[in-house]
Amino acid sequence: MTERIPYTRSSRDGPSFRAGLPLTIPRPRPTAENLLRVRRIRWNEDLLVVAAAGEIDLATAGRLERALSGRLPATTVLDLSEVGFLGVAGLRVIESAAARARAENRTTGVVTDARPVLRLLQLFGVDSRIPVYRHLDHAILEVPNR
């Protein structure tokens, strides 16, 4: 047996609600610029560090892709140490950048210590194709030597 909803007086737009119910206004979703910050840091003439902070998902992956496009030096290190979430769209950007680097005889490395990011890299086997480091200083020392 179902419980009946008590009848309330209604208008043509629907039932009128009692004044005691709180009115909540939905907040707008933050913009892609607020969800993900990306910086290009030219370490030296042969090394570029692309540092990302925030969330990399379908809405923000384009920002990372733009940072990894164009003319790049011999070595690119993607610093994801401040990324809390990595979605499949972001993973595709990383794999695409690494494939392009291999085709152009350049090297690429990824820095992250965040469990959700590491888990996705391991789940899709990206860590077997791209070197992953837990600290930026280790990546800067080791990636150019590969």
Residue with tokens 């789940």: 123
The pTM of this model reads 0.76
In angstroms, the CA 143 to CA 135 distance is 12
* pLDDT of amino acid 14: 56
Whether the pLDDT of residue 138 is over 80: the answer is yes
Q: What are the extents of the domains in the chain?
A: 32-145
For domain 32-145, is the CATH number 3.30.750.24? Answer: yes
3-state secondary structure of 94: helix
Average pLDDT, rounded, for the chain:
85
User: Each residue of 46-72: pLDDT tens digit?
Assistant: 999 999 999 999 999 999 999 999 899
Rounded distance, CA 56 to CA 37, Å?
A: 10
Tell me the per-residue pLDDT of 22-40, one tens digit each, with 9 for 90 and over. Answer: 667 777 666 666 789 999 9
Q: Which pLDDT score is estimated for 35?
A: 86
Rounded (5°) CA angle 62-67-71: 125
The span from the CA of 72 to the CA of 28, in Å, is 36
